[in-house]
Structure 1
Amino acid sequence: MAIQQLTNQVDDNPGPGYQPPWDFLLVDTNTGVGGKYIYIGYTLGDRNPVTSVDFIAYDEAQRNPPPGWHWTGQDLKEGAGGRFIYMVWKNDESGKQPITALQLLPTQQSKPPAISGYEPINQDLNQGAGGPYIWPYYSTTIPMQKKQEAVLLKK
């Protein structure tokens, strides 16, 4: 299955919180730099798949995505300083493979290390904010790891 939709979850507390039908990457886009806790969410399916994803850094807040792209409008560095970084994507582009997985890698390496089956997106999500480098990756061949849900407390 492919990624169909993308979103962000923003909170003052660590998470991500349970928010069906969304699943979330477990890495906060502000890892190591303070600010809001911001997570990238996705849904999986076979219709209208995401076929391109990118992260773009700006010197000032943006009001609109680049022409032809979708976004949530969420600055992934909210409250942490540094560049204004936005996630953008396109769906169902002719001749493009659906994106099947995303991941974020916090590391001290100044260039994204190779991860088998994944393509790096050359944009540090902590650019200008300090902290570790956070490199985003996508795959068109590896499926997202299925999250195991557990009920910890039933009221």
Structure 2
Amino acid sequence: QPVLFDASIADNVGFGAKETPSVDQLSRALETAGADEFVGSLPDGVETLVGEGGKKLSGGQKQRIAIARAVVSSPPVLLWDEATSSLDAQSERVVQRTLRSYGGRCTAVVVAHRLSSVMAADRVAVLIRGRIVEEGAPNVLAHAGGWFQRSFFPDGGGEGA
């Protein structure tokens, strides 16, 4: 779960940024994260208090606020640890689209157990008990006969990969 503070959406998005984001930067970050619609529908918009840990928001909304924070802070490396694990299918699609559209702006390390989370990656490393047992492009690993193919394409297919 993303770490959110008992503060406004604007404050949570701006947390960790070198300087307070402008209204335009905040708006672009929320749009990039797919959070602009739900934030715009809230009575207080970006000034809505999220509660401690973001308890007033759904899991998908918390993830989108965390993504907007990453967009504003522009770090050289992003670590997404199970970024979609607790999301419904629609929220997962929004987060996946956002991560793909944000790609290329920084190095992203994605820890995931869902095939949908890794198929757009440039490279996948399969770790078992802390050791890399396979590494490569997901479309190559889908046909390589190793753990990745056996786990995600048990019929040996890897079709569409």
Q: Tell me the TM-score normalised to structure 1 length.
A: 0.23
Choose between structure 1 and 2: higher strand proportion: 1
- Answer with 1 or 2: which has the greater Rg: 2
Greater relative CO (CA pairs within 8 A, separation 6+) = 1
